[in-house]
Amino acid sequence: MRISELSRRSGVATATIKYYLREGLLPKGEPTSVTQASYDEGHLRRLRLIRALVDVGGLSVATAREVLHVVDEEGLSLHRKLGAATYALGPTITPPIDDPAWKTVREEVDQFLSSLSWQVSPDAPARNLLTHALLSLRHLGYQCDTEHLRAYARAAGAVATTDLKTLAAHTPASESEAVEEAITFTVLYQPVLLALRRLAHEHESALRFADAETTPQKH
């Protein structure tokens, strides 16, 4: 298809597509003349992924390029590719140097993940994300007890299982398509979970605190 059709089908303006081409996020099309090129379904899919990363995920063009670079890398197994692409997604927390409080909480995080028997690389950046979040809680005077954390882990495990099940049901045409889909799901379902958590909070608050409002006063 020509760039105009790629624009129409993706809903992305031609100027934006040209920008992604220049920035190396979108691979060049097959040249059909000096000034024109032809694009295929792979380009359309890639364009959708770029939009997911940049518009919904809020990634910079540089970070998106890094993620896409991993998707295109040859010779990595699917699991490694999924891992590397997710790691590149960020956010990345750089651990402070020589902070004993960080070290303590990071060790607790590692022990907690071991207790779940989750198969997670020791280098997974989400270990630092979790450490940072728990340390922030602690700095603010809140201790996250293990029971609370376990409930969160169960919930996270349940959504991850559903995500992978939906992905597996798709039977993508190629491995790089599978990775593209997995990244899209990781990014696009994140706000779904956050929105539902907010809504569930409101519901729980209504259950616990709203009765006083609706029950008429005795007199």
Contact between 207 and a copy of itself (CB under 8 A)? yes
Number of residues that bind a copy of itself (CB under 8 A): 84
For the segment 39-58, give every residue that binds a copy of itself (CB under 8 A).
45, 48-49, 51-52, 55-56
Q: Measured between alpha carbons, how far is 198 from 203 in angstroms, rounded to an integer?
A: 9
**Under 8 Å between Cβ of 29 and 3:** yes
Nearer to a copy of itself, 35 or 119 (CB): 119
From CA 67, how far away is CA 49, in angstroms rounded? 10
- Read off the tokens for 42: 């792979």
To the nearest whole angstrom, how small is the minimum distance from the Cβ of residue 213 to a copy of itself?
A: 5
Site string for a copy of itself, 4-43 (x = CB under 8 A): -------x--------------------------------
DSSP H helical ranges for the chain: 3-10, 14-22, 41-51, 61-72, 78-89, 100-116, 125-139, 146-170, 175-209, 211-214
Site for a copy of itself in 136-195 (CB under 8 A): 136-137, 139-142, 144-145, 147-149, 151-164, 166, 168, 182, 184-186, 188-195
CB 40 within 8 A of CB 172: no
Which residues 56-95 are close enough to bind a copy of itself by CB under 8 A?
56, 77-80, 82-83, 86
- List the Cα angle 123/118/97 in 5-degree steps: 30
**Is the Cβ of residue 173 or residue 196 nearer to a copy of itself in the bound state?**
196
Q: Which is nearer to a copy of itself, 4 or 194 (CB)?
A: 194
